Chains A and B, each alone.
Chain A
Amino acid sequence: MATVKESNNFILGLWDHEEVFLHAIEHIRHDGLEIFETLTPFPVHGLEDALGYRATRLHTAGFMFGATGTTLALSFMSWVMVTNYPLDIGGKPYWPLPSFIPITFELTVLFASVGMVLTYCVRNKLIPGYVPRIYDKRTTDDRFALVFDIEGKSATEIEKIKSLCSGNGAVEVKNRVFTENENLQS
């Protein structure tokens, strides 16, 4: 279904200790190898720095959603109470700003949270029913994995990847080829 032909041939390096794994990533990146994917069973601190990822902009999105909520709540309540249906409640002002604060706050939080979670799901490809490529089942259990794309790579390059992995403490290095059948599922 993807328009770009996806690679089916990978090499998988598996580690069982996150500190060894972090050092391995530094060494492997230092040698100029491109890491296709990194899989861990839990959030490892310092992983995104080791991989050279830039910071996520999710919080910026959250701020913008929150600001939308604030604006919407304040302007809607003001419009209702001042323009659309002004009510004289014991001679009190038509625009009682202090009593707008609770709802404004709640809607800010609601918009920021819902918007951020939706953004998070879209960016992370988290959709109910989506079947991801599972490189190795143990990456959600007890293994930290680096995935290297070897489509069109020469035998010496492949050998270099393998030796770098096992030289840096990988407990297992293996080929992973996705069959047509597996691809159909995803």
Chain B
Amino acid sequence: MHAYESDFREPLINGDKNYTIITDELVRPTEKTYRGWWLMLLVFGSLAGFFVFCLCWTVFYGIGVWGLNKTIDWAWDITNFVWWIGIGHAGTLISAILLLFRQRFRTGINRAAEAMTIFAVICAGMFPVFHMGRVWDAFFIFPYPNTRGPVWVNFNSPLLWDVFAISTYFTVSLLFWYSGLMPDFATIRDRAKGKYRKMAYNILSFGWMGTAKQWQRFESLSLILAGLSTPLVLSVHTIVSFDFATSVIPGWHTTIFPPYFVAGAIFSGFAMVETLMLIVRKVFHLEDYITINHIESMNKIIVLTGSIVGIAYITELFIAWYSGFLYEQFAFYNRALGKYWWAYTMMMSCNVLSPQLYWFKPFRRNLYITFILSIFVNIGMWFERFVIIVTSLADDYLPSSWSYFQPTWVDIGLFVGSIGLFMTLFLLFSRFFPVIAIAEVKAIFRISSATAKAERAKEAGKSNGGFVGHTTFGILDKDAK
């Protein structure tokens, strides 16, 4: 066989399956509306509507309706931006980096995680765009020939690098995601009953046939897009961290930022993937495809990246003390014990302490704990960005201008509303698109499924006197009966 996997490894597709069943079970969610979908769409759709309302309010009255002031001129807006971008990173990590490392557990979760990436980047992009104030002039950030000189954008500025990084990231993620979706849309098309449904999915599938030559190019394309996305995803959050690191604000001007931001992004992204996937697998009955094994693998990545983030926090504190630089020391003393101590405590306990539970296997494999901790990590990572951004600005060089940030209802509305927008997009995706990559799951079926392992064990059983590798998967017991 072309690929080998030890039969003692836990399967990635559980239950007695074949290709027909896999198609049935993975396409079914797109064929009927599940219970509560309309209700959830109503709730999150209203939130998304409120988001649009708050954006209109902001544009109409100006940025003054946010809680920003002269001292704290970046607060929730940039916090939300970095938080959403970070969440997006797990999708690319799963689809690209795990593909390069040949981690087969990616196939169960990559489609939804990539969708999450795209929706998160959409939410993220809203904040800097609307922070510009005169949003109709937003195209000024692109270098284009103009009648003002021409005056060009400043190619030395990390904020401009961010424009290129985020737009490239969005485009490449979208292409990667969609090129994988085409064959699955064709599968839905070929099962479709109604004429219009068939037509719609044929358009979505771009007329995919599944010829050997198409698949050969498909494989080549996915591999190279994965190879390109891997450095891309690292560069994107590196550049996001440059927005802070290249400034001269104590607390921001730190060389540790790029790796620390990238680890934090992956950390928060995986938490969001878990939050969503635990719901998806339950609602769509996809427990056989998103197994406890998948959840455990993600929890291992969470404890790794969470600990990297923890080391980064402590390194920052140590270096602030060790530098002997008064202003840096003040910024970090202030961060941990100043007026924002509660935010720092939230960050430390959610991001550093709570994931440590995952050193223990029973916690890693417990769905309830995983769900609760994934929410904790999402909260903690939002606070991390808040702590970095707001505490560093609040007490600046001049005591007379020290300030305390208080969000207005528009700030809160934009944050909560962006979650509504994200969830609305995700709900629409999960209703009309296959949430699991059907073709990719089929491609690992002969290698990693419980059925294939049981078949191989039965073959081996014939030749070596009845030794069967793994009776624990349940499927063999059923065959014995």
Contact = CB atoms under 8 A, between A and B. Distances in A.
Interface of A: 16, 18-19, 37-48, 51, 53, 56, 58-59, 62, 66, 76-77, 80-81, 84-85, 89, 96, 99-100, 102-103, 105-107, 109-110, 112-114, 116-117, 120-121, 123-134, 137-142
B152 interface: yes
Contact of A121 (B158, B176, B206, B224): B206
B446 A18 contact: yes
A70 to B, nearest CB: 13
A106 B165 contact: yes
B321 to A, nearest CB: 31
B466 interface: no
Given A102-B165, A103-B155, A123 B217 contact: yes
Given A77-B155, A103-B161, A134 B190 contact: yes
Nearest to B145: A84
A47 B186 contact: no
B64 interface: no
A42 B440 contact: yes
Contacts of B210: 39-41, 139-140
Contacts of B155: 77, 80-81, 99-100, 103
Main secondary structure of the interface of A (DSSP, over half): helix
B215 A130 contact: no
Main secondary structure of the interface of B (DSSP, over half): helix
B187 A117 contact: no
B156 A141 contact: no
A100 B214 CA distance: 37
Contacts, number: 184
Interface residues of B, number: 67
Contact of B183 (A16, A56, A77, A140): A140
Contacts of A110: 167-168, 171-172
A56 B235 CA distance: 29
Given A40-B215, A56-B217, A107-B164, A99 B156 contact: yes
B224 A58 contact: yes
A16 B18 CA distance: 10
A77 B157 CA distance: 13
Given A109-B172, A113-B228, A114-B175, A127 B207 contact: yes
Contacts of B160: 103
Given A53-B212, A103-B155, A43 B219 contact: yes
A156 B438 CA distance: 40
B164 A19 contact: no
B464 interface: no
